[in-house]
Copies of this chain bind each other. A is one copy, B any other.
Amino acid sequence: MLEVFRDYINSKTSITDAAFEVIKSLCIVKKLRKKQYLLQEGDTWKYHAFICKGCLRAYRIDDKGVEHTTKFAIENHWTGDRAALLSGEPASYNIDAIEDSVLLLITNENFITICKEVPAFNEMINTILNKSFVANENRIHAAISYSAEENYQNFLRNSPDIANRVPQHMIASYLGISPETLSRIRNQAAKRQS
């Protein structure tokens, strides 16, 4: 599965074979069966996780026991609990596999080492961080600005690859609406089509 990671890096920057060997040696391959947890609320979390194959979701559980999906991650995405990683505090997110998945884990310590040793990798990571920062800003804007239906249509438009792979009730949770509401939105949209 390490070729997936190599291809990913190559698509974003250019590093030497030697540099990749270093990176490779610090990667832990982790396989997850569908429904298995990568991380549970309360755990400590020390990794950057790159997805070679599969699909995961990160979510929090509120006082009423309801799950709220904060993000999905598929091939060539990163996931983890950034807050917990940076602070050392117990995780507030749960992350589990929606499909059988293969990940690469890199401890934050090793990750920092790689960034120091391989400037191109560091650059790449900075760019990714910036992009996801902007993506988060856009998601905030969407959440406060648009109706449930608009948000759903935008999600379909922007993330068709994810929309096709994850169960509908998780999309509802991601959008902050009930599964019933999403079902009705789809139903009405379909009617309008015809």
Show the binding face of A for B, using Cβ within 8 Å. Answer: 60, 62, 66, 68-70, 82-83, 86, 129-134, 136-141, 143-146, 173-176
Q: A62-B145, A140-B140, A144-B173 are in contact. List 18 more A-B contacts (CB 8 A).
A: A62-B146, A69-B144, A70-B137, A70-B140, A70-B144, A82-B130, A82-B133, A82-B134, A86-B130, A86-B131, A86-B134, A129-B133, A140-B143, A143-B143, A143-B144, A143-B176, A144-B175, A145-B176
Instruction: Tell me whether chain A's interface is mostly helix, strand or loop, or mixed.
Output: helix
Q: What is the distance, in angstroms, from A46's C-beta to the closest C-beta of chain B?
A: 15
Within the assembled complex, what's the spacing in Å between the Cα atoms of A137 and B92? 12
Q: Determine if B136 and A133 form an interchain contact, defined as CB atoms under 8 angstroms apart.
A: yes
**What is the count of identical protomers in the complex?**
2
Contacts of A83 in B (CB 8 A): 134, 137-138
Contacts known (A86-B134, A134-B83, A136-B133); A68 close to B141, Cβ less than 8 A: yes
Q: What is the distance, in angstroms, from A181's C-beta to the closest C-beta of chain B?
A: 13
Contacts of A133 in B (CB 8 A): 82, 129, 132-133, 136
